[in-house]
Structure 1
Amino acid sequence: MNYDVIVIGSGPGGYVAAIRASQLGLKTAVVERESLGGICLNWGCIPTKALLKSAQVFEYINHAAEYGIKTAEAEADFAAVIKRSRGVADGMSKGVQFLMKKNKIDVIMGTGKVKPGNKVEVKAADGSQKEYTATSIILATGGRSRELPNLKQDGKKVIGYRQAMVLPEQPKSMVVVGSGAIGVEFAYFYATLGTKVTIVEFMENVVPVEDEDVSKQLLRSFKKAGIEIMTSSSVESVDTSGAGCKVQVKTASGMQTLECDIVLSAAGVVANIENLGLEETGIKTEKGKVVVDEFYNTSVKGYYAIGDIVGGQALAHVASAEGIICVEKIAGHKPEPLDYNNIPGCTYCSPEIASVGYTEKAAKAAGYELKIGKFPFSASGKASAAGAKDGFVKLIFDAKYGELLGAHMIGANVTEMIAEIVVARKLETTGHEMIKSVHPHPTMSEAIMEAAADAYGEVIHL
């Protein structure tokens, strides 16, 4: 069968690219080996947020007295929490099935492999193979949990994020290796439900890609919540021969042994580029990623790649944006290349983290003279009323032209606030324009206006 576009992978890059292709009048098919929606909808973004919501509800109940509400002692039903999360994921996957039908996109179930001559070979679950052709083939095969050489995952005691979402019972203790978004989200979830959690982070700060002020605040908040944190430390080995795990951790002061039920390896993701036919087709890769240009052309004409398998940030919304740009270019439109310096990052632990653009350290390294404004939620009326005073908004401006270089937030609901900054940066908004944009009172978002005012010595509520 011949198509205008075949997309291999139906995650947030693949299914979005397919829908946009169909909207533009291209005959489109999607190849998927597991579940529509990919990792994000089935094992990542969506079901993890369902787990985190359950943890947040449990946390609210346990602190109800602080809001003047008397409750009986709450008990978390771990199996029911997991079941709810899986139900949410299933619902989202069915939603993608509906979108495929609505947009007249053919769904081909099986494992896809590219071949020379604009061909895709699909191997079905029963072992049968079929070949398809397309003018344009888009690779959107995503990523998986990275396995460290000295931390082999057995799926039972040493696990990745997929197993962490469906454990048969709640562990009494857990060591989380890595404090990126996946690590701190699961650390918060399990600790809130009563698991004793220790985070081991190789870098000197937790959430190491974030601004240092954010890292320090999260460290304080997590320690207050009873989560133990070991930075500048590395897991050297795990002994799983006994009932639990004995984890050997190398720290600045020497070796330590941690005992726990489960070790969660959260040391990032690795691209799914094996057995895709890349070498056979002549598609170039570099450092485990497919090499593409600004419109996602690979080294071979007619073959494209988007999402976690290319060099940008491994985020669902990046994959979606890349998919749309890629398809619009294929259809003869003139899309703008993606600005990778204006991509928001969100982490959904509690307190939440959201950021975009330069950190203070990176802005200084880039040679900018800075104006920095910071507004703590402890000075926010809405945050006080909500009982969510931890955290702040930090804005970084270029002192010369007033350009908003970066924003860093930690606190309740900040993942819902960061989009304002993304739009402001896209429109090249200056600090003075932000100060003069009236924000509603009382809201958490007022902190953005106040932080801008603080950078220019005009802050009212500090």
Structure 2
Amino acid sequence: MKSFDLVVVGGGPGGYVAAIRAAQLGMSVAVVEAEDLGGVCLNWGCIPTKALLKSAELIDKIKQADKYGITVSDYSFDLDKIVQRSRQVASNLNKGISHLLKKNNISVISGTATLLGNGKLSIAATASSKNKVSDKVQAKHIIIATGANPRSIPGLEPDGKSIWSARDAMTPKNLPKSLLVMGAGAIGMEFASFYNSLGVKVTVVEALNYVLPVEDEEISDFAAKAFTKRGIVIKLDTKVLKIERHKGGLTVHLNSGQNSAEADQQLKVECMISAVGVVGNTQSLGLENTAIELENSFIKVDQWQATHEANVYAIGDVAGAPCLAHKASHEGIICVEKIHGLEHVHPLSKDLIPGCTYGSPQVASVGLTENKALAAGHTLKVGRFPLSASGMAVASGDTEGLIKTIFDADTGELLGAHLIGADVTELIQGFVVAKNMETTEQELMDTVFAHPSISEAMHESVLDAYTRAIHI
């Protein structure tokens, strides 16, 4: 039986990062992965969807070419090539992860792991495993990083034909004329944006009252108006009751709490994408052989990612929300450094985790929303700056957007920042760094921002919170 200082179960953005950091600290490490290194994020999530959205962005720019003084008499796109590029991007990065693990002398074990207790794991070979024989390993420490899978609603399970999972939506064989997206979170709105850019008639159904419900309410409202302006139909406070399959697509029965006259709607579409959240991947892990506890399908952990089982930890999506790749990676590093006994290791504050939604427009945020800041008892100063007042945004032709900043009126602490517009997923990191360094409003106001740049809007938003904005 092989022994390791650390065995990481799952080779996604949490697992492989934890493994590399452990190897850097001199630990002997193995990663057990049942499918592809890089996990859902690299292979079927974050990365390939952004490749698809880049193609959609170019299509949108071509549609607007005339306003830049460029005449495009005709254009077309090849769906197969768009999908192939997305898959190739994922494949290239997958190979990169394999190289990184090899470079750091990390053993990669292909198969599924089951915890047996007392640091022992059994590894069962899968159809894609290089090793075809089951094995057992011993570990001083175990990190579970198995991620999550899309939540499935009874009666609305994806079939790969008329009801698509996220994987199906990333690899369409044909472009539907009409599409229903169930769920207006980040995943749902990204797919809605992508297919809308390709000319599909898209309807989004959300059971809650806002698109992107985790975002600041003002930003959610802005986003809903922007998506509606693009031609996406959004039905809030609406649930899918049932579906009827027929030749050519689906009849979807909807119930809306907004208007009693719309209580029983019917919508005919060719396809539907289910994007209604995720559940932790804990099946077949052998948790019954341990003291590990679950809560709403996710593994319960403390601030250092430790479970109730000695020397067993959980990171990333399987350890609960927010289900974000960068959160998983950071948890992996914190967990490993705490195991190794490094000093000055700090638990992860969820207020410092940025959230990003890609598509058109982009949305990005960090920290408290205005409503949550008020509920927490803060007296607020709130600043807003529209991108329509930004010289660089006007020059670029991307004026649809808003930068919103929220400060504690008594201390000047930056409580939250909420952005919507072109490329704001790149801008948000400035506010993340500011929050991490506990920057005050004065330091942000004293900072010199380059001109011309969209980032100047960040500065103006801070100034506006203190009635000092120059350009509005």
Short-chain TM bin: over 0.9
Is the 1:150–1:236 contact (alpha carbons within 8 Å) kept by the matching residues of 2? no
Task: Report SS of the residue matched to 1:367.
Answer: coil
* Residue 157 (1) aligns with residue 162 (2): yes
* Residue 451 (1) aligns with residue 461 (2): yes
* Residue 366 (1) aligns with residue 389 (2): no
* Residue 377 (1) aligns with residue 367 (2): no
* Residue 133 (1) aligns with residue 138 (2): yes
2:195 maps to 190
- Per-residue Cα deviation, 1:189-244 (whole angstroms, up to 9, x for no partner): 00100111000011111111111111111111111111111011011111124320
1:142 maps to 147
* Residue 408 (1) aligns with residue 413 (2): no
Shift, 1:449, TM fit: 0.6
Is the 1:312–1:318 contact (alpha carbons within 8 Å) kept by the matching residues of 2? no
2:311 maps to 302
1:440 maps to 450
Is the 2:7–2:30 contact (alpha carbons within 8 Å) kept by the matching residues of 1? yes
Q: 1: distance between equivalents of 2:158 and 2:48?
A: 21
Is the 1:432–1:452 contact (alpha carbons within 8 Å) kept by the matching residues of 2? no
Task: Report SS of the residue matched to 1:270.
Answer: strand
Task: Report SS of the residue matched to 1:388.
Answer: coil
1:347 to 349, 353, 357: 357
Shift, 1:281, TM fit: 2.1
2:228 maps to 223
Is the 2:23–2:105 contact (alpha carbons within 8 Å) kept by the matching residues of 1? yes
1:206 to 211, 214, 217: 211
Q: 1: distance between equivalents of 2:285 and 2:460?
A: 51
Q: 2: distance between equivalents of 1:271 and 1:161?
A: 16
Q: 2: distance between equivalents of 1:241 and 1:112?
A: 41
1:250 maps to 255
Is the 1:62–1:73 contact (alpha carbons within 8 Å) kept by the matching residues of 2? no
Is the 1:284–1:299 contact (alpha carbons within 8 Å) kept by the matching residues of 2? yes
Q: 2: distance between equivalents of 1:255 and 1:386?
A: 44
* Residue 173 (1) aligns with residue 182 (2): no
- CA RMSD in angstroms comes to 1.0
Shift, 1:311, TM fit: 2.9
1:280 maps to 289
* Residue 44 (1) aligns with residue 45 (2): yes
Q: 2: distance between equivalents of 1:311 and 1:262?
A: 30
Q: 2: distance between equivalents of 1:191 and 1:312?
A: 29
* Residue 77 (1) aligns with residue 78 (2): yes
- Per-residue Cα deviation, 1:41-77 (whole angstroms, up to 9, x for no partner): 0000000000000000111111111101112311121
Q: 1: distance between equivalents of 2:364 and 2:19?
A: 29
Q: 2: distance between equivalents of 1:284 and 1:220?
A: 42
Task: Report SS of the residue matched to 2:59.
Answer: helix
| TM-score (norm. length: structure 1) | 0.99
2:433 maps to 423
* Residue 324 (1) aligns with residue 333 (2): yes
Task: Report SS of the residue matched to 1:240.
Answer: strand
Q: 1: distance between equivalents of 2:269 and 2:215?
A: 28
Q: 2: distance between equivalents of 1:233 and 1:51?
A: 28
Shift, 1:128, TM fit: 3.0
2:408 to 375, 398, 403: 398
Q: 1: distance between equivalents of 2:58 and 2:247?
A: 35
Percent pairwise identity: 49
* Runs of 4+ displaced beyond 3 Å: none
Task: Report SS of the residue matched to 1:66.
Answer: helix
Is the 2:80–2:173 contact (alpha carbons within 8 Å) kept by the matching residues of 1? yes
1:89 maps to 90
Letter in 1 for 2:453: T
Aligned length: 462
Q: 2: distance between equivalents of 1:120 and 1:18?
A: 17
Task: Report SS of the residue matched to 2:377.
Answer: coil
Q: What are the equivalent positions in structure 2 for 1:235-246 lying under 5 Å apart?
A: 235-246=240-251
Give 5+ residue unaligned stretches, structure 2. Answer: none
Letter in 2 for 1:378: S
Q: 1: distance between equivalents of 2:143 and 2:246?
A: 44
Q: 2: distance between equivalents of 1:340 and 1:170?
A: 39
Shift, 1:125, TM fit: 2.1
Shift, 1:150, TM fit: 4.1
| TM-score (norm. length: structure 2) | 0.96
Letter in 1 for 2:304: F
1:337 to 328, 335, 347: 347
Q: 2: distance between equivalents of 1:257 and 1:114?
A: 47
Is the 1:312–1:340 contact (alpha carbons within 8 Å) kept by the matching residues of 2? no
Q: 2: distance between equivalents of 1:326 and 1:74?
A: 50
Is the 2:175–2:200 contact (alpha carbons within 8 Å) kept by the matching residues of 1? yes
Is the 2:280–2:320 contact (alpha carbons within 8 Å) kept by the matching residues of 1? no
Give 5+ residue unaligned stretches, structure 1. Answer: none
Identify which range, 100-109 or 232-241, moves more after superposition: 232-241
Task: Report SS of the residue matched to 1:383.
Answer: helix
1:262 to 249, 271, 291: 271
